[in-house]
Amino acid sequence: MLSFKAGTGSIGKNIAIFNLVRYRYADRPNTFGEVKSQKSKVKIVLHAIENRYKLSSRLSTSVACVLLLLTTACSQGETKSAQSLEAINTNSAVAASNNISTLRIGYVGSVEPTGPLGWAKKKGILDRDLQKLGFKNITFARFPNGPDLNEALVAGQLDVGSLGDTPAIVLKARGVETRLLRITQFNTTAWLVAKKNGPRSLAELKGQKIATQKGSYMHRYLLGLLAEAKIAKDVKVVHLMTTEAKAALERGDVAAYATSSDLGPFLKSQGFPVIDSSANHQGLSGTSLVVATESFLAKQPDFPQKFNAVLTEATKDLKANSEEYYQYHAQITKYPVDIIKVSFPLQQVSEEPLPAEGVKLLEGTKNFLVSQGLAKSNFKLTDWVVNKQQR
């Protein structure tokens, strides 16, 4: 039987700590910028942080302490922030064996993957079918967002990634050699939720601060929405992780937050006003993708077809047993079942790898990111998709 486990290693921790410093201290984190390789990791982190963000001497001292921890493994105390612990735990799984008998999957989300991938894992479909390809182990690594998962792909710590369209497109546009295997969900809704006793319309957001998780499909939605409303220059967009959104809205730190398909309706149920959702606009909703590195596929040319067969079977099964699936999804994410049913309607989950509606939405997202300079270069989706004979 296949073993599902997490590995350990220093590179993933280095990436996590770099992102912790980047997100905490940078006003505009480099979620769309160039991802560095794993070579000279400590020097690269220091150079990237000091030069990109022009740190103060006080911050440079903080960074030096972080780097000292990386290089000497010494401890300056037992207290760690919840975010730093989360970042380290998130990335600790990515350094599993690079042996081809181990399949290394990264995903963005909860403690366990959800959707077709999570259901295939839970129901044993992955175990049964991938063993036939010679995989003895499957490791799952959870990431708080797509840009962090991208960095693990670039560092060679993952074979397969399950993430949103925006970070996946941005990575491909940099010339990183990945292949699109599947669209697992399309028309994923993003929500713009306001603080209580705050703005109630887009016009009232002028001069205000809006937060979102930068580099995500919600970020792309927000940018598109502001452009449509012609107020992009009249608001300030800042980075904030979804885990901090509710507290920030309650404190009034931000006027509004562009959030995910599940947190949006949950905040609404808690009395936070909804200003807008991507469902009201054509082309602003998201897609969830599965990509793989070309180096991995070169060693496993039959993988796309087998993996897609696994996800197709899992999709059919979760639709046939929807109540059981929704209970599982709710248990994993800690949201009520009725919220999950709103955020994960089964018609958004395709049984085929590349549904036409999803491809059209993905093309529009790509073109928008290129037009805004958020994706470095344009490319044809047909060149990104894995060869037809492999699907």
Residues 279-336: tens digit of each pLDDT: 999 999 999 999 999 999 999 999 999 999 999 999 999 999 999 999 999 999 999 9
Distances in whole angstroms, Cα of residue 180 to Cα of each of 307, 386, 388: 12, 6, 11
Determine what percent of the chain is predicted with pLDDT higher than 90.
71
Rounded distance between C-alpha atoms, residue 203 and residue 221, angstroms: 17
- Residue 96 scores a pLDDT above 50: no
Q: Specify the DSSP element, H or E, that contains 235.
A: none
Q: pLDDT band at 388, cuts 50/70/90?
A: low
DSSP string over 258-303 = EE-TTHHHHHHHTTPPEEEEGGGSTT-SEEEEEEEEHHHHHH-TTH
Q: Which of the four pLDDT bands, split at 50, 70 and 90, describes residue 337? A: very high
**Residues 219, 166 contacting (CB under 8 angstroms):** yes
| Confidence category of residue 43, pLDDT binned at 50, 70, 90 | very low
180-228 pLDDT per residue, tens: 999 999 999 999 999 999 999 999 999 999 999 999 999 999 999 999 9
Global pTM value: 0.77
Mean residue pLDDT across the chain: 81
Q: What is the mean pLDDT of residues 163-192?
A: 97
32 versus 360: which is more confidently predicted?
360
Q: What's the DSSP call for residue 236?
A: E
What pLDDT does 133 receive?
Answer: 85
3-class SS of residue 188:
strand
Mean pLDDT of 173-185: 97
What would the pLDDT profile of 64-88 be if each residue is shown by its tens digit? 333 323 333 333 333 332 333 333 3
For 230, how many CA atoms within 13 A lie in the half-sphere containing its CB?
0
